[in-house]
Structure 1
Amino acid sequence: MSPHPRTAAELDRLDPARALLAGGTDLLVRRRAGHQSGPLADVSRLRDAPAPVRRLSDGSIWLSALAPLSVIDRELGGELPGLRAAIACFASGQIRNRATLGGNLANASPAADGVPPLVAAGAVLRLRGPAGRREIPVAEFATGPGRTRLAPGEWIETIDLAPQPAHAGFRKIAGRRALAISVVSLAWTWGRDPGGALTGVRLAAGAVAPTVVRCPGAEAALEGRVPTPEAVAAAVAALDHDISPISDLRASAGYRRAALAGALTEALTPALTEAPARRNT
């Protein structure tokens, strides 16, 4: 079987031991560093690869796991602002022209830029392999640094997102604006009811646990509440119990806790200014 499959069906029949090469922005770096990954299969030119962005009649969006991030960003337009904000600070322009969401997910780094917005959005992965197709939430896909629930021979085909709330965003804190691994990152989505209260609050944090994690305590502190300084303080206090950061070369655990608290406060600041106007309508 050729190491350059032309169709998804040919890919499904490849030796499961082969590592898949789409963008290669992590895989090739690791190989040059001496980490062997076995034989490669180039999947960057499948004739029947999913469209970079597919919009369904119910408002859902399917994203190709094989398309370069720059193409995903361009075709999304103004949709999925949290993911687009993450793509904007992903490495560099040259790398975004090669890197894929599938690779960012399969790499299973807790500091992956593309993953928190997908977790906050409740995205679901559509996996494909010799045994057929199955689905798994992005939040359950990684089991630890560098480890996922992919079975032998499986690959990520699409990332599926249901219609999203009106408010979403992403904040990355790192040593510099580009070409830097996250010290912490935070993605958020929520809606607002007619009284100004937050609804459907979802927060996802990166680089503060072995995998990207939801922040259920902070979510519960905000759900159904009109944003006020007191509500923000309660969410920040709860956030400290949602995460388990470590100290490493990039930052101490204490710094990560403080930085993530600041990112959440920053994310909520526009909602504070919107709340009085909404309450008076």
Structure 2
Amino acid sequence: MADSKEIENPGTKFAQVLDAAARLPAVRINRAAYLRVALKRYCSEDQINQAIAQTPAAAGISFAVITEVANTSIRYETGKVTSISTLAGVPGGLAMLGTIPADLVQYFGHVLRIAQKLAYIYSWPELFVDDSEELDEATESILTLFVGVMFGVQMAQASVTKVSTIIAGQVVKKLPQRALTQGAIYPIVKKVAALLGVRMTKQLFAGGVAKVVPLIGAVFSGGLTFATFLPMSKKLQAHLATLELTKPGHRGRGEVIVGATIV
């Protein structure tokens, strides 16, 4: 009976995990601060300022630099999730929902960190628009779709593409609130959340953390990183790199990076 009650609202279960992960310390990435640090080795101060005020694509930052920065961020977060996952428990009682294991919340905290970094370097707008602990509905929707892409959900990929096209056509660069909370994309967000929630409720909550994704039982070892986090991050990177938002401005696809030098 308990199991059947838990899987009645799988989308709600996933939303609980997402919300708990977003409340973790240092999970929310400041777009401007990240871009400034990530681009300082490769770009002039004027170019960085333009990337922050507009987008990296609009600033004419080459595709080679974008790719290098994305890869660097993935390597950094991959190493971080491996080391931090050895810690037991989550500060601040963020597993407060009772049924959510702390190590799962922590894992998804890192998923959200790399999703934000990849979004920002691939020219998406700020995802967390205020300091409220509560997730804005549009932010929750786009993060759900990003996680869906990372887990290989095809309908999530198609929806992220549509959102990208909407943002690329807007004068004001922000998440399209209506499309993500009321429009045609919103029902797909709910379906993606339900698919992710079913996976967790049937596998994780019925059998423990070890079953949420392949080898997640190795949450305290380096095996977890390369079996799950790294390929998931690469899936999101690969998809974001193809989207409409990457197209404005110069794209030097023939450039090769040698250290910090573009040749």
Higher strand share: 1
What TM-score, normalized by structure 1, do the two folds share?
0.25
Query: Which has more radius of gyration?
Result: 1
Higher helix share: 2
What TM-score, normalized by structure 2, do the two folds share?
0.26
Using CA pairs under 8 Å that are at least 6 residues apart, name the structure with larger relative contact order, 1 or 2. Answer: 2
